[in-house]
């Protein structure tokens, strides 16, 4: 028990330290607060000098409250939540169990058994919350920790319930194994939770480094990274690779007439329209200013021309609504294909750019082939 308390305190300190900075995510703070409560409850349950009510009832309630806070953090991590009413119910149930077997039908063995079953159930609820999120490579360690911790608590409770001899129970193999598994599971949970946050930050950094903040399309760095892979994949598969360059006509006039917020909304609107044409393996990037690149894997030149013409007509037809203003705009496009320009993405973009400017010179709001 002393080892378990020490491991709980150390893992709690680790979670608290990882959550003690200004921009820490809310779920991390819930995990830290929950582990602090669990640690406090375990200490209360093992200090015999405390009053009976604190030692045998309130301590269990504090542990249940702490696990409920951890569950709330997991739900927040999964873009959900756990209401304070549910947290109160979770805490109230364990208080009722411990109070019944302390004050109404005093039995240390029954209190340990049924509170152990209940804490096992709460840990399995935490595991289920993680499982619903998926991404086993990221959350598998924490999931395994919660499952193991729940299993150890359940087996220990079942063993205590089945054995009346306290001396034999204390020296049994099940109790010894559970004493080993519980600290290991706590360590898995602590490191698993921190790993989940690290992966989320890594994904956020990846998005910041490869996506355009205004439109959500790839930026030039993201296009260079993913475009090379798309080109190589198409080349190896013997498929055509088409590039469509898109530029908003008279974008400076839109900004000067209606203001930059309207211009930004036009770019977002254009990105939304283009995404309607995207398949899962196609790429959309903001190449600079009001210029976008659409990379189509497995599309030859005639098919790419149909896509571009469909986009051009839809853009011309659509209306941008922003702050009681209605704005129409058009776009010029240049279409090129690897059948004529090979698979080098830089060369395709350059040829597509030249075709797009040819469309602008020809009167704008049209599609040109490079």
Burial (Cβ within 10 Å: 0-12, 13-18, ≥19) of residue 38 = buried
Q: Do residues 263 and 286 make contact, with C-beta atoms less than 8 angstroms apart?
A: no
pLDDT value at residue 1: 63
Q: What is the predicted pLDDT for the residue at 85?
A: 95
Q: What per-residue confidence (pLDDT) applies to 22? A: 64
Residue 273 region by backbone torsions, left for phi larger than 0, else alpha for psi between -120 and 50, else beta: alpha
- Confidence at residue 171, expressed as pLDDT on a 0 to 100 scale: 56
The rounded distance, in Å, linking the Cα atoms of 92 and 90 is 6
Both tokens of 368, joined, read 């040109």
| pLDDT per residue of the chain (370 residues) written in tens, 0 to 9 | 667 667 777 777 777 777 776 677 888 888 888 888 888 888 888 888 888 889 889 999 999 999 999 999 999 988 888 999 999 999 999 999 999 999 999 988 888 889 999 999 999 999 999 988 767 777 888 899 999 999 988 988 888 888 765 444 555 677 777 777 877 888 888 888 888 888 878 877 877 888 888 998 999 888 888 888 888 888 898 899 999 999 999 999 999 988 999 999 999 999 999 998 888 889 999 988 899 999 999 999 999 999 999 999 999 998 888 888 889 999 999 999 998 888 888 899 999 999 999 999 999 999 999 8
Q: What's the burial of 120, exposed, middle or buried (CB within 10 Å: 0-12/13-18/19+)?
A: buried
pTM over 0.85: no
Q: Which residues pair with 321 in a beta bridge?
A: 326
Give the number of other CB atoms < 10 A from CB of residue 216: 14
Residue 167 has a pLDDT of 46
Whole-number Å distance between alpha carbons of 167 and 311: 79
Considering the candidates 277, 290, 309, 318, report the single residue annotated as catalytic.
290
Instruction: For the chain, give every domain's residue range.
Output: 2-210, 220-369
pLDDT for residue 334: 94
- Long-range Cβ pairs for the range 106-115 (8 Å, 24+): 109/160, 109/161, 109/164, 109/166, 110/161, 111/56, 111/60, 112/157, 112/160, 113/157, 113/158, 113/160, 113/161, 114/157, 115/60, 115/157
Q: Are the CB atoms for 296 and 282 separated by under 8 Å?
A: yes
Beta bridge partners of 335: 244, 369
- How far is residue 308's CA from residue 368's CA, in Å, rounded to a whole number? 9
Of 65, 60, 73, residue with least CA distance to 36: 65
DSSP string, 45-92: HT-TTS-HHIIIIIHHHHHHHHHHHHHHHHHHHTT----HHHHHHHHH
Sign of the alpha-carbon torsion through 165, 169, 171, 173: positive
Q: How far apart are CA 220 and CA 214, in angstroms?
A: 14
The yes-or-no answer on residue 290 being catalytic is yes
What's the CATH class of domain 2-210? mainly alpha
CATH architecture of the domain formed by 220-369: 2-Layer Sandwich (3.30)
> Which residues lie below 8 Å from residue 96, measured CB to CB, with a gap of 6+?
none
Phi, psi dihedrals of residue 238, rounded to the nearest 5°: 70, 30
Question: How far is the CA of 24 from the CAs of 15, 16, 76, in angstroms?
Answer: 11, 11, 13
- Cα of first residue to Cα of last residue in the chain, in angstroms, is 75
In terms of DSSP bridges, do strands 283-288 and 331-337 run parallel, antiparallel, or are they unpaired?
unpaired
CA 101 to chain centre: 42
Residue 317: which residues within 8 A CB-CB, separation 6 or more? none
The pLDDT assigned to 169 comes to: 52
* DSSP type of residue 335: E
Q: Scan for tokens 């088409």, then name that residue.
A: 242
């Amino acid at each position: 028990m002393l080892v378990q308390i020490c491991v709980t305190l150390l893992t709690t300190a680790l979670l608290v330290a990882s959550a003690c900075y200004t921009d820490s995510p809310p779920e991390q703070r819930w995990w830290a607060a929950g582990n602090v409560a669990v640690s406090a409850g375990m200490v209360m349950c093992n200090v015999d000098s405390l009053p009976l009510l604190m030692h045998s009832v309130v301590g269990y309630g504090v542990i249940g409250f702490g696990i409920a806070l951890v569950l709330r953090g997991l739900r927040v991590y999964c873009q959900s939540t756990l209401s304070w009413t549910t947290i109160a119910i979770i805490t109230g149930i364990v208080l009722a169990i411990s109070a019944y077997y302390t004050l109404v039908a005093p039995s240390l063995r029954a209190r340990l058994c049924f509170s152990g079953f209940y804490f096992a159930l709460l840990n399995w609820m935490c595991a289920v919350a993680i499982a619903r999120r998926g991404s086993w490579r990221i959350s598998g360690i924490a999931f395994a920790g919660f499952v193991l911790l729940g299993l150890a608590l359940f087996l220990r409770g079942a063993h205590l319930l089945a054995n009346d001899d306290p001396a034999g129970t204390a020296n049994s193999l099940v109790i010894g194994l559970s004493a080993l598994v519980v600290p290991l599971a706590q360590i898995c949970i602590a490191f698993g939770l921190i790993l989940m946050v690290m992966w989320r930050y890594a994904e956020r950094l990846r998005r910041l480094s490869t996506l355009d903040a205004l439109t959500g399309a790839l930026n030039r760095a993201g296009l260079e990274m993913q475009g090379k892979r798309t080109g190589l994949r198409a080349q190896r598969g013997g498929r055509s690779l088409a590039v469509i360059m898109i530029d908003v006509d008279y974008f400076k006039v839109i900004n000067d007439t209606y203001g930059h917020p309207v211009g930004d909304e036009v770019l977002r609107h254009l990105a939304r329209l283009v995404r309607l044409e995207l398949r899962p393996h196609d790429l959309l990037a903001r190449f600079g200013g009001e210029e976008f690149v659409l990379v189509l894997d497995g599309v030859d030149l005639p098919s790419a021309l149909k896509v571009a013409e469909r986009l051009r007509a839809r853009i011309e037809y659509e209306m941008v609504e922003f702050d009681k203003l209605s704005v129409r705009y058009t776009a010029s496009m240049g279409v090129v294909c690897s059948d004529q320009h090979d698979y080098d993405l830089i060369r395709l973009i350059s040829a597509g750019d030249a075709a797009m400017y040819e469309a602008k010179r020809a009167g704008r709001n049209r599609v040109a082939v490079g």
